[in-house]
Structure 1
């Protein structure tokens, strides 16, 4: 299993995280969530490990543009459907380091995940 970073290429935080990984000489695969939708089973794993509150960015512009009905997330299935329809709702970037997940970029948290791998 490789290290994977999920996000969108034009996001400043994603660019910062990718640059940090490159400076650390960490090989990784980048998954553009807009260009290639994330599989429901992968999103389910994110939700199980991190929870809806850490996976979905409720402070984003995309979140504010949703209707109240769309913002009502009653289950992981609702969250999966929402993230597949609106991939920019995810907290970016999301690091999958051999099964250890980190949502958002925090260099200390990412370094700890890399050391555990």
Structure 2
């Protein structure tokens, strides 16, 4: 079963969910805000994908951080920020068995069908 992690009102999440539904792929959606996200799960994501890849530096939540906080980011600090403010996690995060895909791309999702 495919699991999709994200925030339901995110435009990219909406595109990814629509794509999965159009291709009749069953998936479970886990909303960081409604369903929560454990520190253990986030650490597992970080181990698989790298905390720098998980951190959504394009979002307004990240951009609102002061320069000192941004300059002093390390894995521990970044994961703590992402737990406090899930909008700072790049999305969607798709999990298929032990395979993780970050972000949405028609081409990458199409490969998912072929694998």
TM-score (norm 1): 0.87
Deviation at 1:114, TM superposition (A): 4.7
Name the CA distance, whole Å, in 2 between partners of 1:69 and 1:114: 43
Matched residues, number:
114
Name the CA distance, whole Å, in 2 between partners of 1:25 and 1:46: 26
Let me know the Cα RMSD of the aligned residues: 1.5
Q: 2:7 aligns to what? A: 8
Q: 1:102 aligns to what? A: 101
- Determine which structure has the larger helix proportion and give its number: 2
Please say if residues 3 and 27 of structure 2, whose CA atoms lie closer than 8 Å, have aligned partners that are also in contact: yes
Deviation at 1:68, TM superposition (A): 2.8
Q: 1:51 aligns to what? A: 50
- Does residue 31 of the first structure (1) align with residue 61 of the second (2)? no
Deviation at 1:95, TM superposition (A): 0.6
- Does residue 90 of the first structure (1) align with residue 103 of the second (2)? no
Q: Which runs of 5+ in 1 are unaligned?
A: none
